[in-house]
Amino acid sequence: MNLSEIENEVIKMIHNFTSVKPEKISSSEDLVKDGTIDSLTTVNLIMEIEEIFNVTVYPDEARDLITVTKIAKFIYKNL
């Protein structure tokens, strides 16, 4: 799975949690600051990422996963 495919999967996950249309989800914007997700959705998203991609996200790492691109790069690096 390449980085672009991972980004698309992350966008689909965010869409499933929030009903925000995928084309409205920016890859580079801070997901919380732009109002796409809230803190509860962030926790659920991290848990889903861990389950789907079989990676572990530690709390100190989770704080840095604020954009789709950063999340995808983290997953890609840890696959």
**pLDDT tens-digit profile of 9-68?**
999 999 999 999 999 999 999 999 999 999 999 999 999 999 999 999 999 999 999 999
Range of the domain at 65: 3-78
> Residue 6 — pLDDT band, cuts 50, 70, 90?
very high
Please answer whether residues 70 and 7 qualify as being in contact, where contact means their C-beta atoms are separated by less than 8 angstroms: no
| The predicted structure's pLDDT at residue 47 | 97
Check which CATH number belongs to the domain holding 12 and give it: 1.10.1200.10
| The predicted structure's pLDDT at residue 61 | 96
CA atoms within 13 A on the CB side of 50: 12
**Domains in the chain, number:** 1
| The predicted structure's pLDDT at residue 53 | 98
Please answer whether residues 76 and 3 qualify as being in contact, where contact means their C-beta atoms are separated by less than 8 angstroms: yes
| The predicted structure's pLDDT at residue 32 | 95
